[in-house]
Amino acid sequence: MPFDNENTYIKMVERNEEDLFHKKFDESVVSVTKLFDKEYPNLVNGEVFEEEKLVHLSPLDAKTQIGKFQMSTKETSERAVKIARENYRNWYSKGYLARAQIFLKAADLLSQEKFEFSALLSYENGKNRYEAFGDVDEAIDFLRYYALNLIENQGFERFTGTAYYGEDSKSIMKPYGVFLVIAPFNFFSITVGMVSGPLITGNSVILKPSSDIPLSSFKFVELMHKAGVPRANLIYLSGSGGRVGRTLYTDDGVDGIVFTGSRNIGTKIYKESQEKRPKVAITEMGGKDTIIVTQKCDIEKAVEGVARSAFGYNGQKCSACSLALIDRKIYDTFKKKLVEFSSKFTIDDPRKKGTFAGPVINREAYDKFQKIMDTVPREKILLGGKRISRDGFYVENTILDNVGDPNIERVELFLPILALKPVESLSEAVEFVNSMEYGLTGGIFSEDKKEIDYYFSNADVGVIYANRRRGGSTGAMVGSQPFVGWKMSGTSGKGTGSFYYLQQFLREQAQTIVR
């Protein structure tokens, strides 16, 4: 079975079904509300309700109650680890083919429900229909890709020959036992991918979802149970990262942690998780993603690529461009065209068909935007710079002109704020990129192959693109563009959606039988 990306919207347009796409999405926006305003339990091999609750409100209006979720206790967390550890061998012993088949079934189930999941994401994390669908499609891709990768590698079991006469040896990759997944709000697909890697390879997984998308994560875990994953091997625990997360990643019964989020939290987890014994710690900690625009670019292509990368989903992507280094010879022309192009993006309710970007994720992000803007001189703001006065957490797409502030030029902001900076040469631009502590994604716009080759040869960044109009530093596709962070952006050096990814959740055992 060859791997094929889901690509729902593109394929429906190719089949002349664009109107049907919009009709089904609009219907799902209404139908999915039947899930709202209910209480959802923890899933710890059975339903568990705690005394303290988390109330989840939609960022669309800060009023719509998505649901009530459990604030997990230390006792529940410890019970979850015990259950997961006691049962992981049963899951592994099913064999790689059975586990892969369950994941392929889960991919089919999610594909059948993708309109509902996409509509739910519009409510939970404020994505427009195109971004939401791309997110759910990527989740489906992860499930299928990892299943096929496991099958292709025959469960990572290989015969290694005969060192001595009468001995037969083989190498078997086996699971560690229990992995904790601490997931982010911005991509449902990241949650799915982070769970899939350790789970399909035979580990038990405890998912601590983002408190900003708890319902879509809950529904995903239910779907995996329906597909055939035992409830004891995939556990859902909602709650605060400080309480639940730390209890779990410091527990001696947890063998590994998969984390996506901020640098500060990621480094804290990496350090504290190792205090009792060595553990696998796979962290993706964001980036300061930079696009270089040279004098030899196609300027219309560059403007669109930078704008879409910076402002798609309000800059709340790990890969979003937040700094553009522009050749000084075209700097004034470029920024004028960029402001003109970016001003056309519609910021509105993401459930509406014509919306480009909806709200930022929560009050904290909304207030953070204002605090940053308070530090920027008014004359440096080329576009935006203000919060939008309406229900919900809406802010303007913002472009800044050569601010020179390292807190803006070198720090991940995770907001629709793009800083422009003139440079004298490509080598100066690459040197600036390499001086960053981060190294997640980036891009270049140039029609000169030698310039592209120079960038590709010298940029210390995990995911790079040349002349990508659809998003100059964004939009990695499972199977084609492994998503991997260098330097402070990640710890493993192995990309998601890559043929190297699954082996991180396995440890090698050499077995020899003497005849």
Contact 8, 138 (CB under 8 A): no
Tell me the per-residue pLDDT of 404-419, one tens digit each, with 9 for 90 and over: 999 999 999 999 999 9
Residues 6+ apart with CB under 8 A from 450: none
Residues 6+ apart with CB under 8 A from 492: 282, 283, 484, 504
Rounded to an integer, what distance in angstroms lies between the CA atom of residue 17 and that of residue 419? Answer: 39
Mean pLDDT to the nearest integer, 339-363: 96
Model confidence band, residue 163 (pLDDT cutoffs 50, 70, 90): confident
Rounded to 5 degrees, φ, ψ at 313 are: 50, 40
In this model, does residue 492 exceed pLDDT 90? Answer: no
The correct CATH number of 8-285+492-514 out of 3.60.15.10, 3.40.50.1010, 3.40.605.10, 3.40.50.2300 is 3.40.605.10
Contact 97, 83 (CB under 8 A): no
Give the C-alpha distances (Å, rounded to integers) separating 53 from 71, 238, 381, 411: 5, 9, 41, 34
**Residue 142: closest CA among 111, 165, 166, 169:** 111
The residue from 6, 116, 318, 412 that is catalytic is 318
Rounded to an integer, what distance in angstroms lies between the CA atom of residue 66 and that of residue 214? Answer: 9
Q: What is the pLDDT of residue 244?
A: 85
Q: What is the pLDDT of residue 515?
A: 87
In this model, does residue 292 exceed pLDDT 90? Answer: yes
Q: What is the pLDDT of residue 225?
A: 98
Mean pLDDT to the nearest integer, 268-294: 93
* Average of per-residue pLDDT values in the chain: 96
Rounded to an integer, what distance in angstroms lies between the CA atom of residue 215 and that of residue 18? Answer: 28
In terms of DSSP bridges, do strands 256-260 and 178-182 run parallel, antiparallel, or are they unpaired?
parallel
Mean pLDDT to the nearest integer, 109-134: 97
Model confidence band, residue 397 (pLDDT cutoffs 50, 70, 90): very high
Our measurement of the distance from residue 65's CA atom to the centroid of its chain's CA atoms, rounded to an integer in Å, reads 24
Model confidence band, residue 425 (pLDDT cutoffs 50, 70, 90): very high
Please state the CATH superfamily assignment of the domain spanning residues 289-477 in this structure: Aldehyde Dehydrogenase; Chain A, domain 2 (3.40.309.10)
Q: What is the pLDDT of residue 25?
A: 98
Mean pLDDT to the nearest integer, 93-110: 98
Q: Which residues pair with 235 in a beta bridge?
A: 206
Identify whether 297 is a catalytic site residue.
Answer: no
CA-based R_g, the chain, Å:
23
Rounded to an integer, what distance in angstroms lies between the CA atom of residue 294 and that of residue 291? Answer: 10
Tell me the per-residue pLDDT of 165-216, one tens digit each, with 9 for 90 and over: 999 999 999 999 999 999 999 999 999 999 999 999 999 999 999 999 999 9
Sign of the torsion angle spanned by Cα atoms 415, 421, 426, 429: negative
Q: What is the pLDDT of residue 497?
A: 93
Identify whether 27 is a catalytic site residue.
Answer: no
What percent of the chain lies above the pLDDT cut of 90?
95
The residue from 6, 116, 284, 412 that is catalytic is 284
Model confidence band, residue 313 (pLDDT cutoffs 50, 70, 90): very high
In this model, does residue 88 exceed pLDDT 90? Answer: yes
Contact 74, 219 (CB under 8 A): no
Q: What is the pLDDT of residue 242?
A: 78
Tell me the per-residue pLDDT of 128-162, one tens digit each, with 9 for 90 and over: 999 999 999 999 999 999 999 999 999 999 999 99
In this model, does residue 1 exceed pLDDT 80? Answer: no
Mean pLDDT to the nearest integer, 301-324: 97
Domains of the chain by residue range: 8-285+492-514, 289-477
